Amino acid sequence: MEDFEVVDVPLLERLIFRLGTAVRVKIGYAANLKVLGHLDTRVHRLQIRDIVIQHNTAATTRTVIPSVKILAVTVNFGVLWEVCMLASFLRCFPNIDTLHIQSSLHDHPSVTANEPSGEHHVKFWKEVSPVECLRSRVLKKMFIHKFRGGQNEFEFLKFVAMNAQGLQSLHVVLQEGNTSSTDKVNETKDKLQSLRFQTGISGVLLVSPKAGSFSWSQQAADLSVKDPFLCRMHG
């Protein structure tokens, strides 16, 4: 499947994709859409009504979906254009109260040697256009999944800390394998504690989901589960 179009579905509440599926996603009229994800900055081309969302797309009445409350996005923080697309995606959903970010290295042939992986994108986050869901006090909960503790991940968290005016909790879920090193865990804890959020919260460090527990994809069809991207975790 290369194209998926939501044309006119006033009762649709959830739109959930398999990770890694390359597709153009066009959302027309879906006034009751509340849960959306995972949008992948590498493989998903998002179109809202007649506007294709680009790395520099500004938020207007034609490029936002105000009904979405829970959003999940997958991004490689080491690739600049994916980070740009993350910011553009977030601008499209001004009223989300729960945000899931999955940090991914995208072990995929399309990751070429000339992509700027590993760069520290301090300048980008300092100059990026406003992200309304952070500034409007709507966003209350944020989860960072598969967190590796890289500098680019922390630059994003610094941006969140400086701009999120309503955030009440941040949950950081370490990438499996990173929890085996006590030094790495302690280093990550120290960096998280150094962040200064406007609302006074501090990062909550969690480990990976329990082995054998059900995944978000298995929960997606269970409408009694409010947030299908929140797998059972321990920490």
Domain ranges (residues) in the chain: 34-43+50-219
Continuous segment of H or E residues that includes residue 152: helix 151-163
More confident residue, 199 or 21: 199
How many angstroms separate the CA atoms of 24 and 45, rounded? 5
Residue 53: count other Cβ atoms within 10 Å of its Cβ: 19
pLDDT tens for 182-196 read: 787 888 888 888 888
The pLDDT assigned to 110 comes to 47
The pLDDT score that the predictor gives to residue 123 is 87
In the chain, % of residues over pLDDT 90:
49
List Cβ<8 Å contacts ≥24 apart for 193-198.
195/157, 195/158, 195/161, 196/161, 197/160, 197/161, 197/164, 197/167, 197/170, 198/161, 198/162, 198/163, 198/164, 198/165, 198/167
Beta pairing, strands 23-29 & 169-174: unpaired
Tell me the C-alpha distance between 52 and 188, whole Å.
37
Kindly tell me the sign of the dihedral angle through the C-alpha atoms of 125, 128, 132, 136: positive
Average pLDDT, the chain: 84
> What pLDDT sits at residue 217?
62
- Rounded average pLDDT over 2-6: 88
